[in-house]
Each structure stands twice: as structure tokens, then as C-alpha cells.
């Protein structure tokens, strides 16, 4: 990177799934970015112009970014040669469900000497998801004590979380619905707003507010979206009991009302992954800390857990114990290998506990599943091998690869009159022979119609 070129001077600490994409987005639009990472494997790959993580569009974006993107392990240099530091390190959940700030605090300790020595106004911008109250009660007093400097006099502080989903990180970053800026003062807020205005491709809402309101907003939005998912899943469980009912017809119509919206309203497996489940638990812990109770949140989580129980009930009703059950899809959503909180993994555990023989297939997640199950289950990359001689096949993750399978061949490979369960109704328009087809969210008459289609 040529120092002194135009653009704002930005350092990004933590070049993981979110941080690397963020650094590359800013650099690709001409900002001078210094990325700091402590994982030496990542640093080595990046210095060799390789992306160490798998994210759609990242290699191409890095090609545009390299001229403005420097990679280092030296946080001191990065802070000295930038005007704003974005902190995007993990905030794992503690056993009480609260996010821990220990990695952020470690970064604050590391950048403090450089901030202390600077005679310019430096902005510290936390992007990681944190518990409400963290900025005012912990981070700002901590920085003041480490640097001897006064917030809003000699440094600015911001909380500026992203609303992006894995697999679409770059697209979401460049085209957000909103940019959320919690800031200690207007100078800090204006700086960050300008940084986004000169980077992103659309004109989103800029929601500028106090730090604590931004912290609450981040968690609230994720909890609201999961509430929509659980609403759809509860509706799906009701539709299943009603002759002729079809969850998709209902949710698609409900979603056309602009007060509701169609996104995240598909009845299906429910939410999983590294963000939504833990955000709900953290929101409950936050409410309880302030003497309140997140009553809706508790139900959202309970309904989410119930999806696997609904599937297990159908398995127990229709497949005798010791029968072979094949699970198609293990990752928490298509396009990723991540199995954190995945309902497929929970289902496989319950099947094993109930004495079924379990075979797993997934385009990307098998190596990660082996760490969970060892030799207790069978693994088949080829879905046709996975379903052979199965008394039950359950489609869990909605990988497009599964829709494209030859389903006549699948049903021939399965035992005669075996159970085929479809969590996302991917096969509802297909002609299926010799199987008991059961789709979550479809009432009984609807299922019969499909069988004789
Ligand atoms: N991944 C996502 O799509 C989203 C993540 N978030 C939040 O962003 C934060 C980061 O998440 P991810 O990027 O997924 O985590 P990640 O684990 O993929 O990346 C974090 C990176 O920070 C590095 N790191 C930790 N301490 C460091 C230090 N002192 N100096 C330099 N590097 C350091 C780690 O080595 C790692 O590469 C979390 O709070 C997460 O909840 C929020 C929205 C979306
Ligand atoms: O705070 C975070 O870290 C991020 O968490 C989620 O991102 P992510 O977990 O990557 O994935 P999503 O694509 O949103 O999917 C989450 C889960 O919801 C499920 N889902 C989604 C949509 C739906 O209608 N139903 C449903 O069950 C998916 O199957 C998946 O398990 C949010 O979508 C991001 O806005 C947020 O920034």
C-alpha cells in the first residue's frame, strides 16, 4: 500500500469472517486500510495474496483491494498510521449467555500506547456484537484509564455493528438497509458516516444514536427477525394438522402486507448458526440484568427447539428403532460448512439416542460432523450412497444440490414405502413414487394430493 494516497486512513483489528471482508470493502473503494490479525496462518495467506476464509466474492474483492490494503501483526503501527480503528474480534458467549468482552479489552490494551502517544483525534469503533452497556460502562472508562485521555476531547468512541449474513457478507456490506452508528459525539458519528458514504453502493438509512441505544438496537433486530422465523414455524406446526393447509401459501400472502414483509418468514427448520441462537439468549440475559424479562424471546427459542422434536415424533411414529435414517444436510444453512447449533446435528444425536442407525451427507460439513460423532454414524459425501436401503430420509439443510437429485432414483434406492421427510418442502412439486412423503408445514390432504400428483 502506498501511504499518502487519497482516502480515509482506517485500521481493522481482527481479519476473520467479518473483519477481512470489511477491510477489503473499504480498501476496494480507495480507503487506506491496515489490517491487523494475530492468527499467523491468516497473516501468511494474506501476505501471499490468498483469502484464508471462504466467502462469496472475497477473492475478486481482494484483487481490487490489494493496492490499498496492508496486512500486519503490528497493532501499534496500524493505530499510529490510521485515524480510526475498527475492532472486529470474537465476543463468545459465556456460560450465563452474556457475550464476553475479553478479546475487545485485550485489543484496547494493545492500542492504548499508540493512542496515548498520538496528538491527533483517534476514533475507536467496536463492530463486534456486545452486551448493551458495554461501551459506556466498560470500554470508554477503560480506554481513559489506559491512555490518560478524555473521550470526546482527545479520542472518539463508536459502536457500529453490521447486519450481514455469512455467504452474503460483501453484498450485504455494500448494500445495507441501514448503517447503525452509536457514537460518543457528533464528530465521531460524522466521520463514520462519511466512511460508509464513500464506500457502499446504495443510500441506506443512517441511524445515528447514543452508544447504548445502538447496542440495544443490534440485539433487538436479530431477536425480531428470529421472532418472525419462529412465528412461521409455529404456523407450520399448526398447518400440518389442518387438512388442505399449506404454510407457504399462507406466509407468502401474509408477507405481502408491508407491515410484515416476506423475508425470514418461511416455515422450515428454524434458525441456527453462530449468531441468532446466542443473540436471543444474550437478549434475555440483558433484560434480566435490568430487572425485566424477555418473554417473547423465551418462546421464540422454545418454538425453535420444538422443530427437531416435531421431526423426531414423526420418525418414532413411522420408523421402527434400529431402522436406518439418512440425514441430507448438516450445515446451519446452504453454502457453508458451519454446523454450530445446527438442527441436523441435534436430530442426529436424538436419533442415535433412540437407537436408530444414522447416515449423514452434506456437500461441505462432513469433516466437521466427524468431530462430533466420530464412528457413531456413517458419512457419505454422495447423497445416493447415503439414502441406499434407508427406512427414512430427512432433508434438513435446503442445499440446492438436493433439489437437483434424481428423486426417482432416490426413492428406488430407499426401502419400499420408506419415509421421506422434507423440512423445507423442496420436493413438493415433484412426482414421488413408493415413498411416504411428509413435508413440514403441509396439511394431510395436501400431502395425499402430492403423492398422487
Ligand atoms: N461473521 C458474521 O457474519 C458476523 C459477525 N458479527 C460479530 O463480529 C465479531 C467477529 O465475528 P467473526 O468475524 O465471525 O469472528 P472470527 O472468529 O471469524 O474472526 C475474528 C478474528 O479476530 C482475530 N483476533 C482476535 N483477537 C485479536 C487481536 N488481539 N488482534 C488481532 N486479531 C485478533 C482472530 O484471530 C480472528 O481471525 C463477533 O462479535 C460476531 O458476533 C456480527 C455480525 C455478523
Ligand atoms: O448478527 C449476526 O451475526 C448476523 O446474524 C444473521 O446472519 P447468519 O446467521 O449468517 O445467517 P442467516 O442467513 O440470516 O440465517 C440464520 C438462520 O436462520 C434460518 N432461517 C432463515 C430464514 C427463514 O425464513 N427461516 C429460517 O429458519 C436459516 O436457516 C439459518 O439457520 C443475520 O441474518 C445478520 O443480519 C446478522 O448480522
Q: pLDDT by residue (tens digit) across 14-56?
A: 999 999 999 999 999 999 999 999 999 999 999 999 999 999 9
Task: Check whether residue 444 and residue 298 sit in a common domain.
Answer: yes
Each residue's pLDDT tens digit, 99-134: 999 999 999 999 999 999 999 999 999 999 999 999
Q: ipTM exceeding 0.90?
A: yes
Q: pLDDT averaged over the chain?
A: 95
**Of 158, 193, 209, which residue is a domain's last?**
209
In a domain, 428, yes or no: yes
Task: Check whether residue 23 and residue 110 sit in a common domain.
Answer: yes
Q: List all residues 6 or more positions away from 237 whose beta carbon is below 8 Å from its beta carbon.
A: 306, 310, 440, 441
Task: Check whether residue 195 and residue 274 sit in a common domain.
Answer: no
Task: Check whether residue 280 and residue 156 sit in a common domain.
Answer: no
Residue 46's H or E segment, with its range, is helix 40-47
Residue 437 has pLDDT above 60, yes or no: yes
Amino acid 431: pLDDT: 84
- 276 CA distance to ligand 1 middle (Å): 16
Task: Check whether residue 385 and residue 436 sit in a common domain.
Answer: yes
Amino acid 451: pLDDT: 52
For the chain, what is the domain count?
A: 2
The rounded radius of gyration (Å) of the Cα atoms in the chain is 25
CA–CA gap between residue 364 and residue 47 (Å, rounded) = 27
User: Beta partners for 183?
Assistant: 158
Amino acid 5: pLDDT: 55
In a domain, 407, yes or no: yes
Q: Is 273 close to ligand 2, i.e. is its CB under 6 Å away? A: yes
Each residue's pLDDT tens digit, 324-383: 999 999 999 999 999 999 999 999 999 999 999 999 999 999 999 999 999 999 999 999
Report the nearest atom of ligand 2 relative to the CA of 332: 31
Task: Check whether residue 120 and residue 49 sit in a common domain.
Answer: yes
Ligand nearest to the backbone CA of 248: 2
CA 362 to chain CA centroid, Å, is 19
- 112 CA distance to ligand 1 middle (Å): 20
Which range marks the domain in which residue 379 is found?
234-451
Report the nearest atom of ligand 1 relative to the CA of 275: 41
Q: Is 302 close to ligand 1, i.e. is its CB under 6 Å away? A: no
Task: Check whether residue 200 and residue 306 sit in a common domain.
Answer: no
Report strand pairing: 178-183 vs 155-159: antiparallel
H-state helical runs in 55-179: 58-65, 75-80, 102-117, 134, 140-147, 169-174
Task: Check whether residue 202 and residue 240 sit in a common domain.
Answer: no
Each residue's pLDDT tens digit, 368-427: 999 999 999 999 999 999 999 999 999 999 999 999 999 999 999 999 999 999 999 999
Q: Is 103 close to ligand 1, i.e. is its CB under 6 Å away? A: yes
Task: Check whether residue 55 and residue 201 sit in a common domain.
Answer: yes
Amino acid at each position: 500500500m502506498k501511504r499518502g494516497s487519497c482516502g480515509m486512513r482506517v485500521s481493522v483489528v481482527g481479519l476473520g469472517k467479518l473483519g477481512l471482508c470489511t477491510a477489503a470493502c473499504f480498501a476496494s473503494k480507495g480507503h487506506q486500510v491496515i489490517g491487523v490479525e494475530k492468527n499467523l496462518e491468516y497473516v501468511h495467506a494474506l501476505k501471499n495474496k490468498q483469502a484464508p476464509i471462504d466467502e462469496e466474492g472475497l477473492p475478486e474483492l481482494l484483487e481490487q483491494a490489494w493496492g490499498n490494503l496492508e496486512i500486519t501483526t503490528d497493532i501499534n503501527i496500524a493505530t499510529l498510521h490510521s485515524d480510526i480503528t475498527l475492532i472486529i474480534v470474537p465476543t463468545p458467549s459465556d456460560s450465563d449467555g452474556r457475550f464476553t468482552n475479553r478479546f475487545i479489552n485485550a485489543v484496547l490494551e494493545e492500542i492504548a500506547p499508540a493512542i496515548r502517544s498520538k496528538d491527533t483525534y483517534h476514533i475507536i469503533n467496536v463492530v463486534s456484537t456486545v452486551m448493551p452497556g458495554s461501551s459506556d460502562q466498560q470500554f470508554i472508562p477503560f480506554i481513559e484509564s489506559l491512555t490518560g485521555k478524555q473521550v470526546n476531547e482527545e479520542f472518539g468512541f463508536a459502536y457500529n455493528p453490521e447486519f450481514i449474513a455469512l455467504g452474503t457478507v460483501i453484498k450485504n456490506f455494500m448494500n445495507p438497509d441501514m448503517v447503525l452508528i452509536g457514537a460518543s459525539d457528533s464528530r465521531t458519528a460524522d466521520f463514520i458516516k462519511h466512511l460508509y458514504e464513500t464506500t457502499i453502493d446504495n443510500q441506506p438509512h443512517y441511524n445515528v444514536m447514543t452508544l447504548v441505544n445502538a447496542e440495544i438496537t443490534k440485539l433487538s433486530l436479530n431477536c425480531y427477525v428470529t421472532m418472525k422465523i419462529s412465528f412461521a414455524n409455529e404456523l407450520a406446526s399448526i398447518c400440518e394438522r389442518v387438512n388442505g393447509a399449506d404454510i407457504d401459501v399462507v406466509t407468502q400472502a401474509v408477507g405481502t402486507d408491508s407491515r410484515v414483509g416476506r423475508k425470514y418468514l418461511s416455515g422450515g427448520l428454524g434458525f441456527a448458526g453462530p449468531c441468532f441462537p446466542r443473540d436471543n439468549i444474550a437478549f434475555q440475559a440483558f433484560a434480566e440484568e435490568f430487572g425485566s424479562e424477555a418473554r417473547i424471546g423465551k418462546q421464540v427459542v422454545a418454538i425453535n427447539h420444538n422443530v427437531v422434536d416435531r421431526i423426531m415424533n414423526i420418525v418414532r411414529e413411522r420408523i421402527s428403532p434400529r431402522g436406518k435414517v439418512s440425514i441430507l444436510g448438516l450445515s446451519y444453512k446452504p453454502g457453508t460448512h458451519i454446523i454450530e447449533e445446527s438442527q441436523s446435528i441435534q436430530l442426529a444425536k436424538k436419533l442415535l439416542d433412540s437407537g436408530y442407525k444414522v447416515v449423514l451427507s452434506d456437500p461441505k460439513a462432513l469433516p466437521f460432523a466427524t468431530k462430533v460423532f466420530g464412528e457413531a454414524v456413517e458419512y457419505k459425501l454422495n447423497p445416493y450412497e447415503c439414502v441406499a436401503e434407508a427406512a427414512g430420509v430427512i432433508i434438513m439443510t435446503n442445499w440446492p444440490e438436493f433439489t437437483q437429485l434424481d428423486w426417482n432414483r432416490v426413492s428406488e434406492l430407499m426401502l419400499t414405502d420408506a419415509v421421506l421427510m422434507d423440512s423445507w418442502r423442496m420436493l413438493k412439486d415433484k412426482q414421488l413414487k413408493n415413498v411416504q412423503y411428509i413435508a413440514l408445514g403441509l396439511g394431510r390432504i395436501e400431502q395425499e394430493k402430492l403423492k398422487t400428483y
